[in-house]
Structure 1
Amino acid sequence: MIRSLQEHIDEFHKQGYTLMKGALQAQEAESLKEGVLKAMEGPGDGYRDGLRTRMFEKGEQFQRLIMQPGVVDFAEAVLGPKCHMFAMNAHRTARNGGIDNWHVDEELFFPLPEGVEFDPRMQMPTFLITCIYYLVDVTETMGPTQVIPGSHRSGQEPDPNQNPPIYKGQEPVTILAKQGDCLLFTGQLWHRGARNESDEVRIVQQVMYGKRWISQRFYPFVNYQLPQEIVERWKDHPRMSRLLGMHQRGPYG
């Protein structure tokens, strides 16, 4: 059953995540998978093996993924019409690989002391969204993404001494995704990519969106320059040029 955009938004605000099934057609997912594998064959970019950043530099199909129907509409609805893509990473996770420690991404935006809760009458503000496109079917043993529903409202890091962590009785939910599905979640959600215990390779493509004031994370950061061919390709496309960071002038510059 196809769910509406509003249903996904409501679930995201309540649980901290939502899964869009069939966000990519099979042919799209397969083409992107081949593109990711090709990128993995080339030189790394200073991070770890099995990770490539700035995937929008790897061809037009990755650039168009930034505007994927349904997903980009969700991002703009949650983050506002001035949001942009701030990172775009691909992951290839082989046997025994995986970022399997429970964590929130980067930092807590609303840290709360023990015993203090976020007012239930308030909707937790969202500044960043991570979208994970699964380019292969992900089974129980392949290192699926795991999340703790509602934990984005905790204002706390997951307890490293509690494995797995539990938030208000909520235990981990395992995302058994099909090729072409897309998981959208806030980085404040307790999550992890479980260790891949199979001989199959887990391949995902991420697109992260943020509010305009969230700095884009294109290493080497202040010295990064968007390739001119990408600028030329999209300069007359207002939506795409904005998503790439080519904003109109604002109050700070």
Structure 2
Amino acid sequence: MDSFSPTERQQLELQGWLVLPGVLSAAELATMHAAWERLAAALPNEGASTNWGPDLDTEPTFAVCRTHPSVLAALGVLLDNDVHVRRLHGRSPPRGHGRQGLHVDWSSPAPPGRQILANAFWVLDDLTRDNGATRIVPGSHRWARVPRGHYAQPQGVHPEERVLEAHAGDVIVFSSHLWHAGSCNDSGRRRRVVLAQFGRRELASVHEEYR
């Protein structure tokens, strides 16, 4: 954790998220774009739904998404260094899709002092308000409750939520217990993200999916 400032560590612990800028080089991004297009071409319903994207678990091009030391270090702050990859998946909502209700990636609340899941979103295209950037509610991973009612509906808005804009090559690390959701891709511009989920070793045989 020597590469993180006290402020960044505090942000991860108390707010539940951190953007790591420029993790991927232009050459790495180009290679991932090409691999994504190859995999996407084999999908029968390309671009058809909100959660569309290729399965990346067995694609060697994306192996770095499992092992990058700076990303694993950030995840370690959330998971007490008990960091084990669960799955890799792509997401690229087409125009008019991508809006989700606020949710968490586990079926029940986690204790404030012991997160059990965390995400690393590898940004392959610039994320902006108009192409479906992720919404989060900072600090909600410590509330020990999950979104319900209005907040869990696609058009629900929490008064404390913010939109995480990021550049291609950045990585967004956040607790899976943080209230979060995709936004609508209004512009139709590409919004490819590699969703890498990590958990504590105790979850190795537990299969709960992204929502």
Q: Place the TM-score, normalised by the shorter chain, in its bin.
A: 0.7 to 0.9
The CA RMSD measured in Å over matched residues stands at 2.6
Provide the rounded CA distance (Å) in 1 between the counterparts of 2:29 and 2:206: 25
* Structure 1 pair 83–202 and aligned structure 2 pair: CA distance change class (3 A): same
Provide the rounded CA distance (Å) in 1 between the counterparts of 2:206 and 2:123: 22
Partner of 1:51: 53
TM-score, normalised via structure 2 length:
0.83
Note the C-alpha offset of 1:71: 0.3
Partner of 1:249: none
Show structure 1 runs of 4+ deviating over 4 A. 216-219
Residue 145 in 1 paired to residue 138 in 2? no
* Structure 1 pair 44–217 and aligned structure 2 pair: CA distance change class (3 A): farther
Residue deviations 1:194-234, cap 9 Å, x none? 01101212100121111111125789xxxxxxxxxxxxxxx
8 Å CA contact 1:5–1:74 kept in 2: the answer is no
8 Å CA contact 2:109–2:145 kept in 1: the answer is no
Residue 164 in 1 paired to residue 157 in 2? yes
Which of residues 174, 196, 199 is equivalent to 1:207? 196
Note the C-alpha offset of 1:77: 4.6
Partner of 2:91: 91
8 Å CA contact 2:18–2:172 kept in 1: the answer is yes
Please state whether the residue corresponding to 2:58 is helix, strand or coil. Answer: helix
Residue deviations 1:124-152, cap 9 Å, x none? 21211100011011122001101011111
TM-score, normalised via structure 1 length:
0.70
Please state whether the residue corresponding to 2:194 is helix, strand or coil. Answer: strand
Provide the rounded CA distance (Å) in 2 between the counterparts of 1:78 and 1:148: 16
What letter matches 2:58 in structure 1? Answer: E
Provide the rounded CA distance (Å) in 2 between the counterparts of 1:81 and 1:187: 15
Note the C-alpha offset of 1:6: 4.9
Partner of 2:34: 34
Structure number with greater Rg is 1
Partner of 1:194: 183
Q: How many residues align?
A: 199
